[in-house]
Structure 1
Amino acid sequence: MNWEDFRHWGRRAADWAADYHAGLRNRPVRAQVAPGAVLSALPDAPPEGAEAMQAIFDDFEQTLMPGMTHWQHPRFFAYFPANAAPVSVLAEYFVSAIAAQCMLWQTSPAATELETRVCDWMRQAIGLPDGFTGVIQDSASSATLCAVLTMRERALDWQGNRAGLSGQPRLRVYCSDEVHTSVDRAIWIAGLGEENLVRIPTQGATRAMDAEALRAAIAADRAAGHLPAGIIACTGGTSAGASDDIAAVMDVAEAEGLYTHVDAAWAGSAMICPEFRSLWAGVERADSVVMNPHKWLGAQFDCTTHFLRNPDDLVRTLAIQPEYLKTHGADGVVNYSEWSVPLGRRFRALKLWFLIRAHGLEGLREMIRNHVTWAQDLAARLEATEGFEIVTQPMLSLFTFRHLGAEDLDAHNQDLLNRINDDGRIYLTQTRIDGAFVIRFQAGAFTATAEDVAMAYDVITELAGT
């Protein structure tokens, strides 16, 4: 393909994308193919010669699309959203066309300086105070890894990267059982070991980390000769929206001199609405905070904003400056590759800039408030319907429920969930609360309407036979 061919196919791609989104409600939300069906339809060997673009496009539509789950579907109520607002998709189109490598200021000054600006816009939007500085990571998993590496280096007086962990005391990191599994992976990759991730029990309706148990665990580790390194708190945990008492966690962290990271990957987007900020009261005292505009706000994946009270600690942990990566004759520039694990960096700031300008914060607030209201209304309707139990009340737009009336409730609700997802009109997922199988619901699709959420009630109750 040359650029003249691209002109033609680019128009066709834009038309296809608009038609695809216009017709999403007519598609089943979750892919309805059997395992191996797509693989068996693909040639075993790569082609030796060039193939016509029309043939490639036909196979895309006929072979691949039936095997796609439609994350932009307005009735995608599973996991958390991975929204892609049209303006964000358009921005990503430009990013792909420019194809810049934005690892250093000098490799694309506009990309670096726009990242600085839009991160500060986001800082203001979610209510973090002056003094926090932001960087765009690929995902919250990477931001959490950066935080764990920084915890490790601070605890070891910046000697871990140089000398390794051999011969050092066991470094300990603390969190609740409600944190995302990305925390486990960060602990693995940082070389700390799963046994040194200390799980603190939770309490109350918010399933918050028990601050006194946290304090006791740290004291016990110090007495055993271990080296506490940091605490990871969460606001809006993946399973059921668990939210730690950030202020109470910070009281312990400050008394113990520990680095703190707050994972608000999903719920952080809701903090553009001032009325929801009580959920993370005390966050301004944290060292590191992460939230994902590529979830609820509508920025095309991947786009994670990572905020730091003292970015020098992160740069000291990650920066390597060989001669070929130095920027000479430009003092005071920021090279964001020194704030991230990968050296290579995409121009992620562009889609966030397009998104915020095209919708405005008030437009994004209206969407989030609607989702919260609709989810709360659905939970209330299910709770008032005989045979249903709300297991965890709505946390923003997320709640869990189960259907009663069977001896084996776990098997009964697994079967109900399977029937719901095989039906195709909506898509839900499951979790376990205190060991019991429950069904999750969260409203977050960019194009969802009140009618889409109301349909969820109809589908759930119809298939439950109530």
Structure 2
Amino acid sequence: MSPDEFRRHGHAVVDWIADYWSSLDQRAVLPAGPPGAVAARLPPRPPERGEGFDRILADLDSVIAPGLTHWQHPGYFGYFPANTSGPSVLGDLVSAGLGVQGMLWATGPACTEVETVMLDWLAELLDLPARFRSTGSGGGVIQDSASSATLVAVLVALHRTGGGRWREHGVERRHRIYTSTQGHSSIEKAARIAGLGDDAVRAVEVDPDTLAMEPAALRAAIEADRAAGLVPTAVVATIGTTSTTAVDPLPAIGEICREYGVWLHVDAAYAGSAAICPELRYTHAGLEYADSYCFDPHKWLLTGFDCDAFWVADRAELIEALSILPEYLRNAATESGAVIDYRDWQVPLGRRFRSLKLWFVLRWYGAEGLRAHVRAGVALADRFAGWVRADERFEVVAPHPFSLVCFRLRTRAGAGDSRAPSSTDANANGTDADANGTGAELDRANAELLDRVNGTGRVYLTHTRVGGRHTLRLAVGSPYTREEHVAEAWRLITDAATASQVGRS
């Protein structure tokens, strides 16, 4: 493809993306085809001769778009947001066009130095502790995801605890990683990849009201493991758990980690973005205890996947744990000690110029624009939670400090029965029940409600379990979502609940 051909077809691709964004509200959020539908539209073998670009572009409309879950749709309320934006896409385009491989400073000086500065910019926006800045003992790096950040944190914690030795006097060291029962599945995966196995992860009980880690339970677990000859190695605390966005009490957890010499990693994958707003920064209280911290700009900060911002308080420990320098990577800049080689800050060797899209986003929106985006999501979630509380058929089941609301039907009866399930009616499975039906029946009612709502094609919600009960999640975050879209979601939910009650009457 010549530069002139690239220019012509590139304009067509940008036009296609702009048209796609403009038409999102007219599309169904979820694809209608069964599994295998997209694969069936593709030829069984690659073309022998190249095809015209017009044909490729046409297949975006006929093959790809109909088979997508549209994460940027204004009615997408599932999981957590996975934002992108115009400046992010253009930054990615430039990165792809440059084709830089930034494994070393020497292989891409601008790639390295822009990333260092962007992580310092983010640290300032979030008001992170000074020791996370590159001007101090620590610094930041872009990982592909919070899962990779957790893995790196676990590897560094293991290195610090064992001094790089997995066995001592011929005896294998049995390490323990702690997180709450609400911690992300990536923590278990990190333990597996690190060779520790699932049994190395201790799930710590949470406060039944806040769903946040209980510091007393953490202390008890660490002391019990020490008494059994195990090695407490790392605690992964969460700001904004996946199920409900619970916030673990960092000050108390941090004190415990400091007392026992345990690495503290703080996972704020979704909710970290909120800290750009001073009024939401309280959730980061105690972060000064953390050895590492991460959040995902690709979730709620208008930066396309993949872009996880990961910081350490002591970069020397990170580099010591991960650095391997074969002869073919040696160069004068590295030997000088005056540069950062980000290959030493991650699991893979290679890396692309991800900081470009972050640079584009931060410059286009500015701190003011990004704060407005986050505040809009929080306000819409608050509005939705108010509607839920005003309808006696429903209940909000967890605090919602950010833009996720967890809620559910609390009764199968008509709207006139406002009794909430009693804690004395819990069945053997730990689910609630009352005169309106067993916990299992209420779970089925909520699952059916979710299916009805998602079946409209207008919105998409996901679910979790809270207190053993099937619970619906509505997460606001798309830059295209406005109050009218949240209001439509609530109307579809209440209409489905009414239709279900009529069907049973």
Question: Shift of residue 159 of structure 1?
Answer: 2.0
Letter of the structure 1 residue corresponding to residue 232 of structure 2: P
Give the TM-score of the pair, scaled to structure 1.
Answer: 0.97
Match of 2:375 among 369, 379, 382: 369
2:84 matched to which residue of 1?
84
Question: Shift of residue 61 of structure 1?
Answer: 1.4
1:203 matched to which residue of 2?
207
Match of 1:354 among 357, 360, 383: 360
| Residue 259 in structure 1 maps to residue 263 in structure 2 | yes
1:416 matched to which residue of 2?
449
- CA contact under 8 A between 1:78 and 1:429: conserved in structure 2? yes
1:341 matched to which residue of 2?
347
Distance 2:170 2:94 in 1: 47
Question: Shift of residue 302 of structure 1?
Answer: 0.6
Moved more, 99-108 or 394-403: 394-403
- CA contact under 8 A between 2:239 and 2:266: conserved in structure 1? yes
Match of 2:161 among 141, 155, 164: 155
- CA contact under 8 A between 2:255 and 2:289: conserved in structure 1? no
Match of 1:230 among 214, 231, 234: 234
Question: Shift of residue 129 of structure 1?
Answer: 2.0
Question: Shift of residue 72 of structure 1?
Answer: 0.9
Match of 2:388 among 352, 373, 382: 382
Cα deviation digits, residues 146-165 of structure 1 (max 9, x gap): 001111111111224xx699
2:65 matched to which residue of 1?
65
- CA contact under 8 A between 1:176 and 1:233: conserved in structure 2? yes
1:103 matched to which residue of 2?
103
- CA contact under 8 A between 2:129 and 2:287: conserved in structure 1? no
Question: Shift of residue 435 of structure 1?
Answer: 1.3
Distance 1:393 1:229 in 2: 30
1:317 matched to which residue of 2?
321
Distance 2:366 2:4 in 1: 36
Cα deviation digits, residues 289-321 of structure 1 (max 9, x gap): 000011100111111110110011111111111
RMSD over aligned CA atoms reads: 1.5
1:16 matched to which residue of 2?
16
Match of 2:140 among 134, 141, 144: 134
The SS at the match of 2:455 is helix
Question: Shift of residue 404 of structure 1?
Answer: 3.5
Moved more, 79-88 or 447-456: 447-456
The SS at the match of 2:473 is strand
Question: Shift of residue 239 of structure 1?
Answer: 0.6
1:94 matched to which residue of 2?
94
- CA contact under 8 A between 1:431 and 1:437: conserved in structure 2? yes
1:459 matched to which residue of 2?
492
Q: Aligned pair in 2 of structure 1 residues 371, 290: CA closer, same or farther (>3 Å)?
A: same
Letter of the structure 1 residue corresponding to residue 442 of structure 2: L
Cα deviation digits, residues 16-64 of structure 1 (max 9, x gap): 1111111111111122221221122222222222222222222221012
The SS at the match of 2:332 is coil
Distance 1:211 1:96 in 2: 46
Match of 1:426 among 459, 475, 478: 459
Q: Which has the larger radius of gyration?
A: 2
| Residue 213 in structure 1 maps to residue 217 in structure 2 | yes
- CA contact under 8 A between 1:126 and 1:271: conserved in structure 2? yes
Moved more, 38-47 or 179-188: 38-47
1:304 matched to which residue of 2?
308
- CA contact under 8 A between 1:264 and 1:289: conserved in structure 2? yes
Distance 2:349 2:408 in 1: 46
Give the TM-score of the pair, scaled to structure 2.
Answer: 0.89
1:405 matched to which residue of 2?
411
- CA contact under 8 A between 1:240 and 1:395: conserved in structure 2? no
Distance 1:257 1:102 in 2: 34
1:38 matched to which residue of 2?
38
Letter of the structure 2 residue corresponding to residue 446 of structure 1: P
Distance 1:158 1:138 in 2: 25
Question: Shift of residue 413 of structure 1?
Answer: 1.1
1:440 matched to which residue of 2?
473
2:281 matched to which residue of 1?
277
Q: Aligned pair in 2 of structure 1 residues 374, 165: CA closer, same or farther (>3 Å)?
A: farther
- CA contact under 8 A between 2:210 and 2:399: conserved in structure 1? no
Letter of the structure 2 residue corresponding to residue 267 of structure 1: A
Question: Shift of residue 216 of structure 1?
Answer: 1.0
Identity of aligned residues (%): 44
> 5+ residue gaps in structure 2?
133-138, 413-436, 500-505
Q: Aligned pair in 2 of structure 1 residues 384, 120: CA closer, same or farther (>3 Å)?
A: same
Distance 2:486 2:268 in 1: 24
Question: Shift of residue 326 of structure 1?
Answer: 2.1
